[in-house]
Amino acid sequence: MNCGGVTTEVRGHVGWVTIDRPDRMNALAKATFAALVDASLELDADPEVRVVVYTGAGERAFSAGVDLKELDASGTMVHPMGGAGRNPNEVILELGKPTIAAINGVAAGGGCELALACDIRVASSTARLGLPEARVGMGANFGSVVLPQLIPRGLALELLYTGDLIDMTVARRLGLVNHVVEPSELLRFTEHLAARIAGNAPLSVQRMKAVALKSAGLPTAAALRLNAGPNPYTSEDRIEGNRAFVEKRKPQFRGR
């Protein structure tokens, strides 16, 4: 399904969200932001989907960021999250299911922030990422919050202040991406990784994500007492997992 420049597809237990504006370097128009929110929430609500992957169409860009051609009459940027719209980066960050960014090319500005919102990042060796908002007189609010949580503060601030785009050798060294693969292997590698995650007990994975997300910044004692996400301990899947272990077979998890 294609809506607002975003294509969604479900293959097995994996939902794929593709920013499909290759002629515009997959730039994020106002309609694209709305479509990303809708697609994310729909896949999160789909009981058959256990992992959500985000990528860009074509080979040039994951997303070049906000479409700067969307200006009002005075030349001021029409902010894509204006009005009743929700911020897709926040929606993706807080999604109940695990998320993967398959970074197939340039991920700049809002495109970089979208990748940072995902739990796991897999990148093509030819990709570059960065937050160049300072070069065009804009801010990077989401990136300014999240980037210093992912890499050392001084390095994050340098990237924010300079607006530099970094290659994947640097990104991998900083820990910004989990895996770097050849362009021809990106989708295959990501699909395999997503399938491995989807093969585990969904409630267990969702519990781990919720605890990891909501415990951030808490004192250790408080974090260890945190009760977040679904409870896998009393689930049918826990019984199935134990039974499969005893019977030496692959468990058949149902997400309940």
- Torsion angles phi and psi, residue 14, rounded to 5: -120, 125
pLDDT of residue 82: 43
pLDDT of residue 13: 96
133 labelled catalytic: yes
Q: Within 10 A of 83 (CB to CB), how many other CB atoms are there?
A: 8
- One domain for residues 81 and 160: yes
User: What confidence tens digit (pLDDT) does each residue in 98-135 have?
Assistant: 999 999 999 999 999 999 999 999 999 999 999 998 88
Is 253 part of a structural domain of the chain?
A: no
Average pLDDT score over residue span 41-69: 93
Locate 177 and state its tokens. Answer: 């991406």
Q: Indicate which residue of 90, 113, 182, 191 is catalytic.
A: 113
Residue in the structure block whose two tokens are 């607002």: 4
Proportion of the chain above pLDDT 70, given as a percent: 93
Q: What is the mean pLDDT of the chain?
A: 88
- One domain for residues 154 and 32: yes
Is 85 part of a structural domain of the chain?
A: yes
Q: Whole-angstrom Cα distance, residue 103 to residue 187? A: 9
Per-residue confidence band for 79, with pLDDT thresholds at 50, 70 and 90: low
Higher per-residue pLDDT: 238 or 81: 238
Element (H, E) at 7: strand 6-11
Can you say whether the dihedral through the CA atoms of 31, 37, 43, 45 is positive or negative? Answer: negative
- One domain for residues 208 and 161: no
Counted domains in the chain? 2
Q: Whole-angstrom Cα distance, residue 143 to residue 87? A: 13
pLDDT of residue 78: 53
- One domain for residues 52 and 26: yes
In 3D space, the residue among 51, 22, 92, 9 whose CA is nearest the CA of residue 190 turns out to be 51
pLDDT of residue 213: 86
Element (H, E) at 53: strand 51-56
- One domain for residues 151 and 69: yes
- One domain for residues 41 and 140: yes
Domain residue limits at 61: 2-198
User: The CATH number of the domain where 55 resides is what?
Assistant: 3.90.226.10
Per-residue confidence band for 58, with pLDDT thresholds at 50, 70 and 90: very high
Q: Three-state secondary structure along 19-49?
A: ECCHHHCCCECHHHHHHHHHHHHHHHHCCCC
Is 255 part of a structural domain of the chain?
A: no
Q: Indicate which residue of 133, 158, 185, 247 is catalytic.
A: 133
- One domain for residues 159 and 229: no
User: What confidence tens digit (pLDDT) does each residue in 183-230 have?
Assistant: 999 999 999 999 999 999 898 899 989 888 888 887 888 778 778 877
Cut 0.75: pTM above it: yes
In 3D space, the residue among 19, 43, 47 whose CA is nearest the CA of residue 99 turns out to be 43
